[in-house]
């Protein structure tokens, strides 16, 4: 299906497809097995200028919006969602700076991200605070012009390889969500320690670790926004980033569908390609329809967000829920279509099924997002 992209957007999409095919495809299975972080991919993205596709030109980016970001994420995820996450995870950490940072913060962090020289990470989740962001127990106390941060985070994408972390910490526990504040913590900050690297089911080329903060002293200038604005910053950031998860899910599903389609055209049973059987054709028809429906919703949502509306949390949640549920179903069906081949690690479909699952969980579990959608639509005037 042809979508009404501008010529620049078509060029961005083509560049991302080239990087995906040439840099990711030959390495996807190897990096999934070894759990290596794809530093080479960051270099490839930097060489094409895609590292800063969503960052303003004054900070070295291309000046695109949510549409341009998701075009890149989708193409990269068609070949490997884990590798794509090194790019998407950095974008997640850049949004708080883009939306709420000072000009000084933007110059320091966004210019380095746009150049491809810095990786970022977003540190919100804790052992007792996942969907309930207000339960964050990491604390930050102001002492002699510095904030002293103590606590721990877990399941942090790009953990251990990031050059900086956006950290949500409480500056006033008695105020709950209204006591959260966001901070920029550089990797060389004394007291910042990298914990266990997780051994994950999917997206294994992405580095996911614990973080520990032991009296980390950071200057007041590293605070994003005002004290107590952290919850708002987190929620606004996730509203902007959830379409990226949808793009990741769509890319995963498209890659699985392509592999399954190729297989049913070449696999012969009972003297004919299995793609000639009606049951197989119906399954493929449903898969293709579901992918295109999710893609159409994604691009429409991106255009809406790029028009700078006051609120779009409902739309961002909807596209993330719809696309991730779709990806889980399509990848499961792709494995079914390929039979025993689909279950073997020598083929990329089982990997895509494993990768798809996380899209239903991170950046807001789908059950929680349904709560958000339901509350928003029932309270709307």
2 found inside a domain: no
* Whether 349 and 240 share a structural domain: yes
pLDDT at 276 over 80: yes
Distance CA 51, CA 143 (A): 36
Structure tokens at 341: 């081949």
288 found inside a domain: yes
237 found inside a domain: yes
Residue after which a domain boundary falls, among 96, 119, 142: 119
**Whole-number average pLDDT of the chain:** 97
354 found inside a domain: yes
What is the enclosing helix (H) or strand (E) of 140?
A: strand 139-143
| Dihedral-angle region of residue 147 (phi above 0 means left; psi in -120 to 50 means alpha; beta otherwise) | beta
The confidence score (pLDDT) of residue 305 equals 98
Is 363 known to be catalytic? yes
* Whether 128 and 109 share a structural domain: no
* Whether 246 and 362 share a structural domain: yes
pLDDT at 380 over 90: no
Distance CA 107, CA 105 (A): 5
Residue after which a domain boundary falls, among 119, 142, 158: 119
Percentage of residues in the chain having pLDDT higher than 70: 100
* Whether 128 and 112 share a structural domain: no
* Whether 346 and 361 share a structural domain: yes
Residue pLDDT, tens place only, 99-132? 999 999 999 999 999 999 999 999 999 999 988 8
DSSP 22-34: IIIGGGHHHHHHH
| pLDDT tier for residue 74 given thresholds of 50, 70 and 90 | very high
- Residue 376 dihedral angles phi and psi, to the nearest 5°: -65, -40
Distance CA 359, CA 56 (A): 27
The confidence score (pLDDT) of residue 352 equals 98
pLDDT at 287 over 90: yes
The confidence score (pLDDT) of residue 2 equals 84
Residue after which a domain boundary falls, among 98, 119, 140: 119
- Looking up residue 346, the CATH number of its domain turns out to be 1.20.140.10
* Whether 368 and 269 share a structural domain: yes
The confidence score (pLDDT) of residue 325 equals 98
Catalytic residue from among 74, 315, 350, 363: 363
- Looking up residue 201, the CATH number of its domain turns out to be 2.40.110.10
40 found inside a domain: yes
Average pLDDT over residues 146-157: 98
* Whether 207 and 322 share a structural domain: no
The confidence score (pLDDT) of residue 138 equals 98
Residue pLDDT, tens place only, 233-268? 999 999 999 999 999 999 999 999 999 999 999 999
Domain that holds residue 50: 7-119
269 found inside a domain: yes
pLDDT at 304 over 90: yes
* Whether 276 and 358 share a structural domain: yes
Q: How many CB atoms lie within 10 A of CB 171?
A: 20
1 found inside a domain: no
Distance CA 348, CA 338 (A): 11
Residue pLDDT, tens place only, 162-207? 999 999 999 999 898 999 999 999 999 999 999 999 999 999 999 9
* Whether 135 and 95 share a structural domain: no
* Whether 193 and 102 share a structural domain: no
Structure tokens at 318: 């909807």
Distance CA 328, CA 323 (A): 9
* Whether 146 and 23 share a structural domain: no
- Looking up residue 89, the CATH number of its domain turns out to be 1.10.540.10
The confidence score (pLDDT) of residue 96 equals 98
The count of structural domains within the chain is: 3
* Whether 18 and 138 share a structural domain: no
Q: How many residues does the chain have?
A: 381
Average pLDDT over residues 314-336: 98
């Amino acid at each position: 299906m042809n979508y009404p992209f501008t010529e620049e957007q078509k060029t961005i999409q083509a560049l991302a497809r080239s990087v995906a095919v040439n840099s990711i495809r030959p390495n996807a299975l190897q990096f999934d097995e070894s759990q290596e972080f794809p530093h080479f991919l960051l270099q490839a993205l930097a060489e094409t200028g895609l590292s800063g596709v969503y960052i303003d030109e004054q900070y070295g980016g291309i000046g695109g919006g949510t549409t341009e970001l998701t075009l890149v994420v989708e193409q990269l995820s068609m070949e490997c969602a884990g590798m794509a996450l090194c790019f998407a995870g950095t974008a997640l950490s850049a949004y708080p700076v883009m939306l709420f940072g000072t000009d000084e913060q933007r110059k320091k962090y966004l210019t380095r991200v746009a150049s491809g020289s810095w990786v970022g990470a977003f540190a919100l989740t804790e052992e007792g605070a996942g969907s309930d962001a207000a339960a964050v127990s990491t604390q930050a106390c102001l002492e002699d012009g510095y904030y002293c941060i103590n606590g721990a985070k877990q399941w942090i994408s790009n953990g251990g390889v990031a050059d900086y972390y956006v950290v949500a910490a409480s500056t006033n526990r008695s105020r709950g969500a209204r006591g959260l504040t966001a901070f920029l913590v550089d990797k060389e900050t004394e007291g910042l320690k990298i914990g266990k690297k997780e051994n994950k089911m999917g997206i294994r080329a992405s580095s996911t670790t614990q973080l520990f903060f032991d009296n980390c002293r950071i200057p007041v200038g590293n605070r994003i926004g005002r004290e107590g604005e952290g919850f708002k910053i987190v929620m606004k950031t996730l509203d902007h980033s959830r379409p990226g998860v949808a793009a990741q899910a769509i890319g995963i599903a498209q890659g699985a569908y392509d592999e399954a389609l190729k297989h049913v055209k070449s696999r012969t049973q009972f003297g004919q390609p299995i793609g000639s059987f009606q049951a197989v054709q119906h399954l493929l028809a449903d898969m293709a329809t579901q992918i295109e429906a999710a893609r159409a919703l994604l691009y429409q949502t991106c255009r809406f967000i790029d028009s700078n509306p006051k609120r779009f949390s409902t739309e961002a949640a909807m596209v993330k829920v719809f696309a991730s549920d779709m990806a889980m179903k399509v990848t499961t069906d792709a494995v079914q279509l390929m039979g025993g081949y689909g279950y073997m690690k020598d083929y990329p479909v089982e990997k895509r099924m494993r990768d798809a699952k996380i899209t239903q969980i991170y950046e807001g579990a789908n059950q929680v997002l349904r709560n958000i959608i339901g509350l928003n639509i029932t309270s709307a005037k």
